[in-house]
Structure 1
Amino acid sequence: MLDFNGLGLLSPLSAGLTAAGYTTPTPIQAQALPPALAGRDVLGLAQTGTGKTAAFALPILQALAKADKRARPHYPRALIMLPTRELALQVGTVFDLLGLQLPFTNAVVHGGVSINPQIKALAAGVDILIATPGRLIDLMDQGKCKLDNVVLFVLDEADRMLDMGFLPAVKKIVAKLPRTGRQTMFFSATMPNDVSGLAESLLHDHVRVEVTPPATTVERIDQSVIHLDMAQKAPTLVKLLSDPAVETAIIFTRTKHGANKLAAQLAGAGLDADAYHANKSQNARERALDAFRAGKTRALVATDIAARGIDVDLITHVFNYDLPEVPDAYVHRIGRTGRAGRAGTAVSLVTPADRPLLKQIEKVTRQSIPRHAMEPAAAAVLPQLKPERPPQPQPKRNRPKPAGQPGERAQQGRGHRGQPRNAEAARGEATRIDAPRAEGTSNPSGNPSASPSTRPQQPRPQGPRPQGQGQRPQGQGQRPAQQGKPQQHSRPAAKQTADNRPARDGAAKPQRPQRPAREGAEASGGDWTPDFLRRPARG
């Protein structure tokens, strides 16, 4: 069996392998490293978590070391492209470890952070550039990154590039690469027609290596389906996650809004869970991933695209809360568990409406997934989750405000309702009621505006004055109220009852019931956990 000592690696790389904890090549490394180290182009078909990064990092570091050249400012010598910033950061870490005793510099460039440090790094000279397509094009358009000297090019997760709509950007970048004198390594889990065509245009006299055939599942993963009704999905998931056998889990939903909602339900049931999707900031995603790796969070609720950035080996369970609409995505999802020779479990919650999707998945994966029906006895002991409370609009309450304080916010609200970023973001922000309206700004005269911007500013409208702006001098006493409108006063004119008035200034607030420290199997009674979660791990 091939080992790293038989590959002819330079001694600094052998030391880097030891420091990084590599002992025996994985199947993809054993097949890809010999031709790649010999300078051949490589087409690698392998799932996530099979060791692809080392399969291209070692040949790149070895080739650069043998060439004994350094990069010029703005001209990297090796380029690795990946679809997400999380994957790019992880690949950067592998290069740091393997190249610890080599003099090369690498830089990771991606969106979501300031571009200026990345420009400075390129200006100082970068041997190995690890990039996402969008930010790389930004740097190229500004003339800060030129690809004329790239001699080693890697395109990783090519099928995900296609899924995320990056194919036009990838083609634009590839057009700037040297046509000759370049070694290319191309990795993908599946080979749709567009990806296959891109590979043919990039590779020359290449070697094809394949670990897992496209659209087949990982043999070490125990897969199961639970047939249930829509209303039983969340309680069933809470019950499953409450079992000690579920050490770490990724839960897949179709939408970002669905991930937020489900994560809130799990947290409300006393489970450590966090949402992980593209609408969260980079810092929020990194914090969630760090907590997951450290064991502070047992479950991440993620969408398919965001989950591509999750590179964690010790995931014991994958739950398909929503089945994917594309069968190939099922393979990617369950490939998050059962890594590095360990056993894993994948459970799909399937409603009657999902059954056509399940048939497609079984057809593509060429298998029949074991099924478990939700029996009445099991349904009777499902945990009772608290009903989701829709966001309640806060009643307006005008408060007296001393005159002469321009710039104060006049009212609170959701912001500009007519211009949501997108439908899903609007749904995800439905509970945000503390953002100032765009109209609540100071007007040029220095007086704060307490009305929408569509209200004319000049001349001053005749009628009741806005509240909370001090007394206005009157010529002959108070102006009578307009006919048909009630007189307004400095305090709220409308009668507020205990039901609709928000608790303020010492008023008694309604007490929410105290949540037990953990609601799940303990709270529901009975031992419901299915046998397939309890069976011993294989291997």
Structure 2
Amino acid sequence: MKFDTYHISSAIKKNLSGLGFKRPTDIQYKAIPSIMKGEDVLAIAQTGTGKTAAFAIPIIDKIHRAKSSKRSQGIKCIILVPTRELASQIGSVFDDFSKHTKVKIFAVYGGVEQDPQIKKLANGIDVLVATPGRMFDLISQGAISLKQVDILVLDEADQMLDLGFINDIKSIKRKLFKKHQTLFFSATINKQIKKLAFSQVKSSAIRIQISPEDPVSKNVSHFVMFVEMDDKRFFLRRFISDNPEARIIVFVRTRVRAERVAKALERGDIKASTLHGEKDQKERTEVMSLFKQGKINIMIATDVSARGIDIPNVHYVINYDLPEKSENYVHRVGRTGRGVQKGIAISFCSKEEKERLEDIQQFLNKKIQTIPVSKKEYTYTLSLSNEIQSIQELIQEQEDWEKRKKKRKKKK
């Protein structure tokens, strides 16, 4: 079945064609008809399978038709997401799909000034993409009205509910139309969170689960290397040097480690940008933009960018640190192998992390293939790094000597 045969507006079909969308993915094929009928949907599907389009296409079509047939004012749909980056991305996807329609989209999130957001909201929008904190602030200030909302979407629903937003979600739902539609989308979900999600949808809700036995796209190949914690930076440096043209996301556990790893790479004359919650929103947006445009090839990130972010042509995801939560592994490696593209995920596992590796393999229902590293190879990698370190030290010594020489000349 092709999108050309769907009962959606010609403007949306034109947009989809221009973006290269010809046939729906499994999640789109199963979710779009139910959403268009107004049914509640709880959908679980692998990363990179097109979940955003699965709810964006029918929502835009429904609002466009409503606005074409009669005068319609006020926000009709709210999409709640856990991170600023995801809010910005989904806003962009909706913008792409809604060109040449009457549907207006706006994304609000923290870390930026409120006044321009309030001004934009006052001009009237149809779809609001938001992080909970900023949305609740704007509701309390009277900048957002829920009176006309009849669709509520939770993207990355498991994290939204796990972060404790359930009471806020219940509060929002009480203010909506009694017959409003609720859509939950996620790549992973555990039994406890699933129970919470079911409590917030109609009993007749459509439940969709794509490839539940394998939560990661088949396009991703998984590997693990057993490397001591203190030696990881040397192996990362060598891997990047051996793959100079590759676009790589390196995931680490903390903000501090992100900066340390970046500095370790810099000492080997490798430039990398960092993305984490310590950076202000302007910096985060700039780093993400440069990486998406291919102006930087190495991005070191915490899990702030592991959820839902769609970055084209990422060749490798490297888990420099294994995640503490097994489901975060799925979201991390989902940054590669998106759509029809192939991707590779490589994890560096130290002795201290072997238990985490076991949990991840159990979660994936399969064993991750090991990349064997012989003693000779291990020693060679460390020696290469020591050689680079020595060269850098010599360069630094030369620069220091030049500075001292200049100072002596000035004194004379």
- TM-score (norm: length of structure 1): 0.68
Q: Which residue of 2 aligns with 1:185?
A: 183
Determine which structure has the larger helix proportion and give its number: 2
Q: Which residue of 2 aligns with 1:346?
A: 345
Q: Which residue of 1 aligns with 2:94?
A: 95
Deviation track 1:315-368 (CA, whole Å, cap 9, x = no partner) reads 111111111111111111111111112221111111111111111111221111
C-alpha change, 1:318 and 1:348, in structure 2 (3 Å) is same
The structure with more radius of gyration: 1
Aligned residues of 1:84 and 1:309 also touching (Cα < 8 A): no
- 2:289 maps to amino acid: D
- 1:133 maps to amino acid: P
Find out whether 1:198 has 2:196 as its counterpart: yes
Residue range with higher mean Cα deviation, 376-385 or 258-267: 376-385
Find out whether 1:234 has 2:233 as its counterpart: yes
In the alignment, the residues of structure 1 paired with residue 49 and residue 256 of structure 2 have an alpha-carbon distance, to the nearest angstrom, of 31
Aligned residues of 2:46 and 2:215 also touching (Cα < 8 A): no
- 1:379 maps to amino acid: Y
Residue range with higher mean Cα deviation, 278-287 or 197-206: 197-206
C-alpha change, 1:66 and 1:134, in structure 2 (3 Å) is same
- 2:24 maps to amino acid: P
In the alignment, the residues of structure 1 paired with residue 409 and residue 134 of structure 2 have an alpha-carbon distance, to the nearest angstrom, of 53
In the TM superposition, what are the counterparts of 1:388-403 in structure 2 within 5 Å?
Answer: none
Deviation track 1:217-275 (CA, whole Å, cap 9, x = no partner) reads 33232211111222321101111111237611111111110011101111221223111
Q: CA deviation at 1:507?
A: 5.2
In the TM superposition, what are the counterparts of 1:22-421 in structure 2 within 5 Å?
Answer: 22-68=21-67, 69-72=70-73, 75-178=74-177, 180-204=178-202, 205-213=204-212, 216-244=215-243, 247-308=246-307, 310-382=309-381, 383-384=385-386, 386=389
In the alignment, the residues of structure 1 paired with residue 408 and residue 153 of structure 2 have an alpha-carbon distance, to the nearest angstrom, of 64
C-alpha change, 1:80 and 1:352, in structure 2 (3 Å) is same
Question: Secondary structure in 1 aligned to 2:278?
Answer: coil
In the alignment, the residues of structure 2 paired with residue 237 and residue 367 of structure 1 have an alpha-carbon distance, to the nearest angstrom, of 25
Aligned residues: 393
Q: Percent identity?
A: 37
Aligned residues of 2:28 and 2:54 also touching (Cα < 8 A): yes
In the alignment, the residues of structure 2 paired with residue 50 and residue 8 of structure 1 have an alpha-carbon distance, to the nearest angstrom, of 22
C-alpha change, 1:157 and 1:373, in structure 2 (3 Å) is same
Instruction: Provide the aligned C-alpha RMSD in A.
Output: 2.5
Question: Secondary structure in 2 aligned to 1:202?
Answer: coil
In the alignment, the residues of structure 2 paired with residue 176 and residue 195 of structure 1 have an alpha-carbon distance, to the nearest angstrom, of 23
Q: CA deviation at 1:386?
A: 3.6
Identify unmatched segments of 5+ residues in structure 2.
393-399
Aligned residues of 1:154 and 1:184 also touching (Cα < 8 A): yes
More contact order relative to length (CA 8 Å, sep ≥ 6): 2
Aligned residues of 2:36 and 2:62 also touching (Cα < 8 A): yes
C-alpha change, 1:353 and 1:99, in structure 2 (3 Å) is same
Find out whether 1:14 has 2:30 as its counterpart: no
In the alignment, the residues of structure 2 paired with residue 261 and residue 90 of structure 1 have an alpha-carbon distance, to the nearest angstrom, of 28
Aligned residues of 2:319 and 2:346 also touching (Cα < 8 A): yes
Q: CA deviation at 1:8?
A: 0.7
C-alpha change, 1:201 and 1:168, in structure 2 (3 Å) is same
